[in-house]
Structure 1
Amino acid sequence: MKHIYIKFISSTVLLASMACPLVAQETIRNEAPKTESADSLVQVAFRKISQDELLGGVSVIDFKELQKKNYNTYTLDNLQGYVGGWNGNSLWGMDGDNAGYLVLVDGIPRSMDNVLPSEIDQITFLKGASAVVLYGSRAAKGVIYITTKRGQISDKLQIDVRANTGFYVPKSYPKYLGSAEYMTLYNEALANDGLAPLYSDSEIYNSAMGINPYRYPNLDYYSGDYLKKAYNRSDVTAEFSGGNQRARYYANIGYYRQGDLFKFGQVEDNYTSRLNIRGNVDLTINDFISAYANANATFYDARTGVTTDEDEADYWEEAAKMRPNRFSPLIPVSYIDPNYATGNDYMAANNNIFNGCFLGGTQVDQRNIFADYYAGGYNKYTSRQFQFDTGIDFDLASITKGLSFHFQFAVDYNTSYNTSYNNDYAVYAPTWSNYNSYDIITTLNKYGNDTKDGVQNISGSTDNQTIALSAHFDYNRTFNKFHNVSAMLIANGFQQTNSGVYHKTSNANLGLQLGYNYANKYFADFSGAAVHSAKLAEGHRNAFSPSLTLAWNIANEDFLKNSSIVDDLQIGLSGSILNQDIDIANYYMYMQALDRATGEPWGWYDGASELSANSMRGANEDLTFIKRKEVALNLRTSLWNKLITADVNFFINSTEGLLVQSSTLYPTYFTCYYPESSFVPYINYNNNRRTGIDFSVNFNKKVGEAEFSLGLNGTYYDTEATRVDETHADAYQYHAGKPIDGVWGLECEGFFATDEEAAAANQSFGGTLKAGDLKYKDQNNDGVIDSKDQIYLGKGGWYGSPLTLGLNFTAKWKGFTFFALATGGFGAIGMKSNSYWWVYGDGKYSEVVRNRWTPETAETATYPRLTTLAGYNNFSQNSTFWMYKTDRIDIAKLQLTYDLPKNLLNKTFISDASVYISGSNLFTISKEREYLEMNVGTAPQTRFYNLGVKLTF
């Protein structure tokens, strides 16, 4: 089969080089005016149509124009600032537990990470069910369609070169206590638990005074000793385009390289690089046949440090949990007692001496991230992607006017692997003494051995493939100047193979579209798809998804046609029922599943032992597709010669038949917890509803030589779990009727004031309670505080903030262009529940514990008493104590661009030139700004400052 693909690709490329045309899956209406440019058309399902034919649930960004004033490095970077319905995470809040929106690049399901902004012409957001129905099951939660650039007819080759360089600057780091303060407070925590102190006063004093940090470590992972203040990203892109009536071509060659924050050891050389080569060719073979071929190759590499234990944490994870007094990563050799022969022999044989220092550690910390990054070796991740699609279009007007046929085939390959040098190393735990007021190392305990075998290891190999095919007959014709008829008959499918995944991701459907409009005033569109899923049992694998849309363009009525105010005014209504299997996580969930991994050993008297095979679920061959039922209303208008334009969508949709293993419809004896087994099948039961509105309003005005544009975009949606498999004793605990992203927890009533009050409380979590622990409300008055006292606290915003707003502003004057972008998210809550806040056991202490509860600070404390009890769960519960609002406004982008005057370039070979400076992700306005801008356990958030130049030849 592999050889067949190679031959097919070779022959297709040869065909394209002789003669190939239109954009992937692009059908332009035959009756469209000759003067209508391709730039004014919008990509929708399997075709391009003019803006005035859009019937709602669709938003589009002219990305090529946007890049002229807003340089960015990621495709979907803050696009919620330009269109309504996209909140930065989902379309109309439709993401689910298993998969969300479908990304199509030139009509093929592909990762958006493999297409850069410089390659993009247009991005279409297909939000409404009526807009995505023709793509079948996998598109039921929306489609983001990315169209890459194509060549245009030109009398000469056009070359555009863009170069950028910029720096990422960390916004903030977590703030942890130093060694002396940590040890003091840890002793306090021990005292709270009735235990003796661990650290002596002299240890704490010497650490506080900074006396010999190698003997009394005060390790700061965020110190300038280990991290840079900023790191660079630079890129250069060259674009080539041109062509004539017979052939048009576009090529994009780009390269970027990005550094890292680390400034020590092997990781000082960390980098990420990407080289891409894209070529799109369009050919007109004759008056009725055209073809196209698109190809893209990407070479991606990333170098990082390695850890000696793959299960251990990386640098940022370790920084969030390793206490500052544990060890010193490097210890100068000069501290070793010259009379200590063994120590000097160690150093003579030690291959890992760095700036006169050897690797420190302890018996417990024989492996640590610093030693890994200094001496453990390095890893190089390599990814290679090849993407190819080709198609041919036939104008069949010779058979009947308005008829055409379109075919597309694509095959993508993606391989990746890791190559690494993994070295063993020794660390040394010193024993210190003091002679004549000088610290020296009198003995060393060595743990491990220095070994560099020079073997390059290969791991993590993946081999992924996508094959896609679509074919459709189109019919577009106008009768008697007023009756516009359109139709499509579609066969569409794709299959994705991923390493380590037994079942391929598949989508197969037949589509039908029938459209009619009278004089561009009254519109009717029926679209439907026959979908198929192998995830369901025979007899339930096929379904039909219908959608009907009606629209009225009031602006084309006689009473508004000559209006000086209204340019465009259209209202549309659609109703749809989509069948999807996205939320059916695994194949064959209708079958009974047996598992031995959770089985118990059994055997006969001969000593042989086997594991039992246990049932993990029962069978249900009546499982069906999950349905998205939707009604949507659209209003679009343009006023005062496009001074103001607006697009508004209101939607109500219900996702019905979500799969659950019901705990209420089946008896409890169907489930056994030891050994773990269940005969409860999956059933279509849970239902969720989403109601919302999105809008885009734009204002455009020219005053003298100045031009201004202002855009306000937003999405608001509310969710409700309308049916949930649950049973509770108390009405307030039912999830039905509450948001599906609801956060549940306890209502906190402050701290226990005395040990007696704490002892009298009957809380089922927290062990022995004391003064300074959190006190929770008994919601059901049963005298016990447990999970039955959890209440609904607010929306979690799991699929995006309930209210998302975006504001973009552009001002142009005499070659200068100023662009600003702000985004906002409102209406959700979060929990301060990471290790920075929930501190217990021997965890690292952050600055929040400074205002802990003590008898002296009982009136002003904002943090519970300290404890060393591992897994202490009195305060590690979702509750109103830890709750915060995630409301925020982000100044996402500021950019100033200057286009050099033409008269300066007339005598040069440069036709256009511009320079620009920009800042991205600049700052956040929020009551919780410090928390929202701080990452714990991961790399820090950064601002990006960039300088760029663009030249056209």
Structure 2
Amino acid sequence: MKHIYKGLVLCATLAFAYTHTAAQEPLADMLEATQADTLSKVQVAFRSIDQRDLLGGVSVIDMKEMSEKAYTSNSLGFVDNVVGGFNGNIWGNTEYLVIVDGMVRDANNVLPHEIDQITLLKGASAVVLYGPRAAKGVISITTKRGEIGDLRINIHANTGFYTPKSYPKYLGSAEYMTLYNEARANDGLAANYSQEDIFNHASGSNPYRYPNFDMYSSEYLKKAYNRSEAIAEISGGSEKVRYYTTTGYYRESSLLKVGKTEDNYVSRFFVRGNVDMQLHKFITAQADANVTFYDSYSANVDWWGQTATLRPHLVTPFIPLSYIEATDQNSLNAVLNSSYLQDGKFFFGGTQQHPTNPVADAYAAGDSKFVSRQFQFNTRFDVNLSPLLKGLYFRAKYGIDYASTYNQGYSNSYATFAPTWSNYNGEDIISSITQYGKDEKSGTENISNSAYRYTYNVSGQFDYQNTFNEDHNVFGMILANAWQTQRSGHYHRTTNANLGFQASYNYQHKYYADFSVAMPYSTKLPTGNRVAFSPTVTLGWNLANEKFLENSIFDNLMLTASVGIINQDLDITASDNEDGYYLYKTVVQKGGWYSWGDNGGLAATEFQRGNNPDMTYVKRKEFTAGLRGSMWSNLINFDINFFTSKMDGGLVRSGSLYPNYFTQIGYPSSSIIPYVNFNVDQRTGFDFSVYANKKVGEVDLTLGVSGMYYKSTAKKRDENIEFSYLSAVGRALNGYWGLESEGFFRDEAEITSAPTQTFGDVKPGDIRYKDQNNDGKIDDNDRVFLGRWDSPLMSGINLTVKWRDFTFFAMGNLYLGGHGMKDNSYYWMSGDSKYSEIARNRWTPETAATATYPRLTTTNGANNLRTSDFWIYKNDRFNLSQVQLTYAMPQNVLRGTFIKGLSFFANANNLLMIAKERKVLEMNVGSAPQTRFYQLGFKGTF
């Protein structure tokens, strides 16, 4: 907390300093180097540059422009649509770094309306200065700042409703019981449910005795739930000081409406502000602060989880008191003592194995609130050193980010009552009741799951920028950069530290050369290998400035090429060591339960791994080429980038490099094989962004198409395989491996003649697999590569139509080439699991020719329920992500009022999906459903 106080004190100090310097020098007196900043439009690593000088591997989104025509609650909601190169990853690399105003932070703690610009830094040359942990790409977010002018107030407000797309469809009680009996018969077991019970459940004559519990019923779920938001922005300033502040609140309810779940909500309140000050004609300063209060309240019930597991015939949530036999006063008294009678009904808990139910939990189990508090502060000083050397600046930044989370709430126990039913004269009554548990409220609020995260950022740099003879433009930077994150539960801090150097030159904004290099330092590596050298070189040529293209169709045509090597420690990690420290060291521990006679009664010594003093960084080796430009007076704008990149030196414990006696197999197991740099991954592809702008009469049209295609390949692996088709080398990195199916076994004769199935005993109706190696048995050696689970081709399409005071905006995303696996509980049914409607397509001797699902079983799903192409599907799809209509009130209507601007909008999100497997893609199992969102809103400027 002391760092928070330091930040607040520094803010106050800066404000005090401003009051003493505001009357000194006007902003116009700042030296020529400041004018270069006014040309800067795009934020790149540790500086901003004019967009015409932007080299390849960088894309930018103007969020101010986007916010005028499209609303989103996600700060990165437009990134995969408006520009190319992003598909949940950057050029196929996950673990991208998010930078907010130069500080390492979370993207979800910045709302879209607060953002001025988002820069997607993709190429190695674009990210190298940020250090090793930025090696897989950077998303740089620049928030809004104050501008010179009168006080300006923007008010945003909107409200909307989420509606579910679809729900899973499960079988009712009678059909489930019938099919469960069939499954037992398939396993050679007796029926579990009598035909009389099945009939009674099907008839619905007494739903309390013979329940058909549907957790997706409208009795428990709303048709829609609300999200509302209100935000205020205040900005303005003078030549001496500029300020911007925003505050807002949103609240989102829940789809559930049973018991305390009706009060479920998520809320977020925040305050963000910044100030830019000219402390002296040579010194400018910035100070930023943000505070966020996030709360998520819910009743203590796992409603959505139980929808996938709780079978419908087991539970009746409530039973009317009127069913209790009039002479059974003991049962009636027991129920009447309950604290949770609801409209003359009492909780029914089922059996001793199922003493509670989700409805009762929703009413009586208590509640919980997830609490998150986050404080952020950063400051920057720019010192103009032009009196020493024209064009020289010193810049320093410091920032802190403190976040804490915990759960608070009450956990209660409650009584449930399982009835014993009888039938007298054709009427069902409860003859006796068994009570499980008792009503108890401790009255003590529980605090649990406390966690914190603390990050600090610091950097200092010397910048030199100058122009000689009006033709030669030079820029140089010397940089020191570091950030560190401490998390609760982690002994080691996540650290990024590096030095950087950049030298850039362009001649007449025609010929460009850039040399950027970083020198990272990582304590994950052994002494002697902790420092590395990461060089990148970029060349650019603006052909549009050449005489041979003076009168061509091109307004601008920038050709770029870049090569580079980045040393990174992101991949210095292991499954048993997430932080990745000391992986180069030997690990020796006590092992085994026995001891040697000469070991003094001590247990055996066990090696977990050996020593590797030569372990080094994983290297990103990359070549890129880019072409950016515009044609026919900006009728067409385009940006295309080709990339080929290798991640060289991934860690493995290589069995092929060491003799087999380095590993002891048996108990206790032991190995002195160390982690070594070995694996190589390659990603090759291109991204693109093309925009067409056309005015037709009074209508302005803009059509944008962007996207990315890439191929990922395992180029080198440590493998010990008998069959070549099992090799990962040459295969996609993100893929499914499994068996190749050959339909269902038709009869016992076919099973007898087929290769031996090693995944349990098989029967007619089970899936038959291909024997890839012809060894007469089906096992893991018969697995093959089935397909990529990610989409190699992703494209975003957006359309803007402006007519007078109306603006129409629509965007959608296309995904091609990916696959999914139907491997959740909705499809993989066995044992006592809940049955979905898919079970209706099961194999039986009568449906053998048409069945699309294996036979049902209660004892053996090992053969059928495993990764294979039987369950795979193509997830090619087009999503209509957003449609919005905005109306801006004409200025002549507002003239003479205090309102400077007023606009209204209506939008809809996730409206449509076009896909062969749309039902599969739109359905969530065991979690809240996917939704569409419809809302109305307005923005006023005063």
Q: What displacement does 1:226 show?
A: 1.1
Determine whether 1:51 maps to 2:45: no
What are the Cα deviations for residues 288-341 of structure 1, in whole angstroms up to 9, with x where unaligned?
A: 21000000000111101225xxxxxx2222111111111212222221112112
Structure 2 CA distance for partners of 1:761 and 1:428, relative to 1, 3 Å: farther
Q: Pick closer, same or farther for the CA change 1:462–1:612 going to 2, 3 Å.
A: farther
Give the match for residue 821 of structure 1. 811
Maintained 8 Å contact 2:31/2:386: no
Whole-angstrom CA distance in 2 between matches of 1:603 and 1:948: 74
CA contact (8 A) 2:680 2:716 kept: yes
**CA distance in 2 between partners of 1:646 and 1:367 (Å):** 61
* Residue 807 to residue 33, structure 1, CA distance change in 2 (3 Å): farther
**Partner secondary structure for residue 19 of structure 1:** helix
- 1:388 partner SS: strand
1:620 partner amino acid: N
Which residue of 447, 453, 475 maps to 2:464? 475
What is the aligned partner in structure 2 of residue 153 from structure 1? 148
Q: Deviations over 1:574-621 (max 9, x none)?
A: 00000000011221111123456xx5445899xx99986643322222
For 2:667 and 2:32, the matched residues in 1 are separated by: 70
**1:26 alignment counterpart:** none
Residues in 2 aligned to 1:390 and 1:201: alpha-carbon distance in whole angstroms: 75
1:824-881: CA deviation from partner (whole Å, max 9, x where unpaired)? 11111121111111111111111111011111111111111111115x2111122121
Counterparts of 2:756 and 2:145, CA distance in 1: 66
Q: What is residue 794 of structure 2 aligned with on the other side? A: 804
Aligned counterparts of 1:246 and 1:683: Cα–Cα separation in 2: 57
Structure 1: distance between partners of 2:462 and 2:38: 23
Conserved? CA contact 1:19–1:291, under 8 Å: no
Inter-partner Cα distance in structure 2 for 1:272 and 1:66: 26
Residue identity opposite 1:679 in structure 2: I
Aligned to 2:869: 880
Matches of 1:656 and 1:60, distance apart in 2: 29
**Gap change, CA 1:610 and 1:944, over 3 Å in 2:** farther
| Contact kept in structure 2, 1:294 and 1:389, CA below 8 Å | yes
State the alpha-carbon separation in 1 of the partners of residues 4 and 642 from structure 2: 46
Q: Which amino acid aligns with 1:729?
A: E
* 1:728 aligned onto 2:721: yes
Contact 1:411/1:465, CA 8 A, preserved across alignment: yes
Match of 1:24 in 2: none
The question of 1:164 aligning with 2:161 is answered no
The one-letter amino acid paired with 1:200 is S
Would you say how many aligned residue pairs link Structure 1 and Structure 2? 923
> Aligned pair 1:616/2:601, yes or no?
no
Q: Aligned pair 1:305/2:293, yes or no?
A: no
Structure 2 length as normaliser, TM-score?
0.95
Going from structure 1 to structure 2, the CA distance change for 1:636 and 1:418 (only over 3 Å counts) comes to same
Task: Name the counterpart of 1:328.
Answer: 316
Cα 1:214–1:617 shift into 2, 3 Å: farther
Match of 1:253 in 2: 247
Query: In structure 1, what is the Cα distance between the partners aligned to 2:399 and 2:670?
Result: 44
Please state whether the residue corresponding to 1:445 is helix, strand or coil.
Answer: strand
| 1:218 corresponding residue in structure 2 | 212
Q: How big is each residue's C-alpha offset from its partner over 1:84-142, in whole Å with a ceiling of 9 and x where there is no partner?
A: 0011x1000011xxxx1000110111111111111111100000011000000010000
Query: In structure 2, do the counterparts of structure 1 residues 673 and 257 end up closer, same or farther at CA, with 3 Å as the change threshold?
Result: farther
Conserved in 1, the CA contact under 8 Å of 2:304 and 2:928? yes
Tell me the secondary structure at the aligned position of residue 191 of structure 1. Answer: helix
Cross-structure match for 2:348: 360
Query: What is aligned with 1:747?
Result: 740
The residue that corresponds to 1:845 in the other structure is 835
Q: Of 637, 662, 667, which aligns to 2:654?
A: 662
Once residues 339 and 849 of structure 1 are traced to their aligned partners in structure 2, the CA distance between those partners, rounded to angstroms, is 45
Q: Look up the match of 1:592.
A: 586
User: Could you tell me which residue of structure 2 aligns to residue 794 of structure 1?
Assistant: 787
User: Are the structure 2 counterparts of residues 35 and 103 from structure 1 closer, same or farther at C-alpha, using a change threshold of 3 Å?
Assistant: closer
Distance 1:177-1:668 versus aligned 2 partners, 3 A rule: farther
Identical amino acids, percent of aligned pairs: 52
Question: What is the rounded CA distance, in whole Å, between the counterparts of 1:8 and 1:570 in structure 2?
Answer: 43
Say which of 630, 650, 655 aligns to 2:642: 650
Q: SS in structure 1 opposite 2:611?
A: coil
Alignment partner of 2:665: what SS? strand
The answer on whether the counterparts of 2:315 and 2:357 sit within 8 Å (CA) in structure 1 is no
* Structure 2 residue corresponding to 1:678, chosen from 629, 653, 671: 671
Given the alignment of the two structures, is residue 833 of structure 1 paired with residue 823 of structure 2, yes or no?
yes
Amino acid across the alignment from 1:635: L
* C-alpha contact 1:823 1:890 (8 A) present in aligned 2: yes
| 1:82 and 2:82 are equivalent in the alignment | yes
Could you tell me how far 1:758 is from its partner in structure 2? 1.7
**Shift in alpha-carbon separation, 1:616–1:371, aligned structure 2, 3 A:** farther
Matched, 1:392 2:381: yes
1: CA distance, partners of 2:878 / 2:423: 56
Q: Secondary structure at the match of 2:765?
A: coil
Q: Give me the whole-angstrom Cα distance separating, in 1, the residues matched to 2:10 and 2:619.
A: 42
Look up the match of 2:90: 91
Distance 1:420 1:353 in 2: 23
Following TM superposition, by how much is the alpha carbon of 1:174 offset from its aligned partner in structure 2, in angstroms?
0.6
- Partners of 1:78 and 1:660 lie apart in 2 by 37
Closer, same or farther: CA 609–268 of 1 in aligned 2, 3 Å? farther
Q: What RMSD over aligned residues (CA atoms) do the two structures have, in Å?
A: 2.0
1:703 aligns with 2:669: no
Structure 1 equivalent of residue 110 of structure 2 = 115
Distance of 1:135 and 1:424 partners within structure 2: 53
Contact 2:596–2:602 under 8 Å retained in 1: no
**Aligned partner letter, 1:885:** K
Q: Which amino acid aligns with 1:779?
A: Q
Evaluate the alpha carbon distance shift between residue 826 and residue 4 of structure 1 in structure 2; reply closer, same or farther with a 3 A threshold: closer
> In 2, Cα distance between the equivalents of 1:150 and 1:939?
38
Deviation at 1:3, TM superposition (A): 4.0
- Give me the whole-angstrom Cα distance separating, in 1, the residues matched to 2:340 and 2:333: 14
Distance 1:121 1:45 in 2: 16
Call closer, same or farther: CA 1:693–1:184 in 2, change over 3 Å.
same
Could you report, residue by residue, the CA deviation over 1:444-468 in whole angstroms, capped at 9, with x for unpaired residues? 1111111001101111111211111
In structure 2, distance between residues paired with 1:30 and 1:831: 62
Q: Secondary structure at the match of 1:67?
A: helix
CA apart distance, 1:162: 0.5
3-state secondary structure, aligned to 1:875: coil
Give unmatched runs, 5+ long, in structure 1: 22-28, 308-313
Q: 1:718 to 1:499 in 2, by over 3 A?
A: same
Alpha carbons of structure 1 residues 892 and 595: separation in structure 2 relative to 1, 3 Å: farther
Alpha-carbon displacement from aligned partner over 1:903-951 (angstroms, at most 9, x marks no partner) = 2211321111111100001121000000000011111111000100110
Q: 1:646 to 1:487 in 2, by over 3 A?
A: same
**Pairwise CA distance, 1:419:** 0.9
Q: Distance in 1 between matches of 2:54 and 2:310?
A: 57
* Alignment counterpart, residue 283 of structure 1, candidates 277, 286, 296: 277
Q: Matches of 1:32 and 1:633 in 2, distance apart? A: 31
In structure 2, the CA distance between the partners of 1:248 and 1:658, relative to structure 1 (3 Å rule), is same
Distance 2:846 2:38 in 1: 75
Match of 2:617 among 625, 629, 643: 625
Deviations 1:756-794 (A, max 9, x none): 212333344332211111111111111111111111111
Residues in 2 aligned to 1:603 and 1:483: alpha-carbon distance in whole angstroms: 77
Q: Spell out, residue by residue over 1:149-188, the C-alpha distance to the aligned partner (whole angstroms, 9 max, x if none).
A: 000011x111000100001111011111000000000101
CA contact (8 A) 2:33 2:465 kept: no
Choose which of 126, 138, 146 in structure 1 pairs with 2:133.
138
Identify which of 746, 752, 769 aligns with 1:776.
Answer: 769
CA contact (8 A) 1:217 1:324 kept: yes
3-state SS in 2 of match to 1:501: coil
Distance in 2 between residues matched to 1:611 and 1:160, nearest whole Å = 72
1:537 Cα deviation after fit? 0.9
Of 630, 634, 643 in structure 2, the residue corresponding to residue 638 of structure 1 is 630
Counterparts of 1:854 and 1:933 in 2: how far apart (Å)? 29
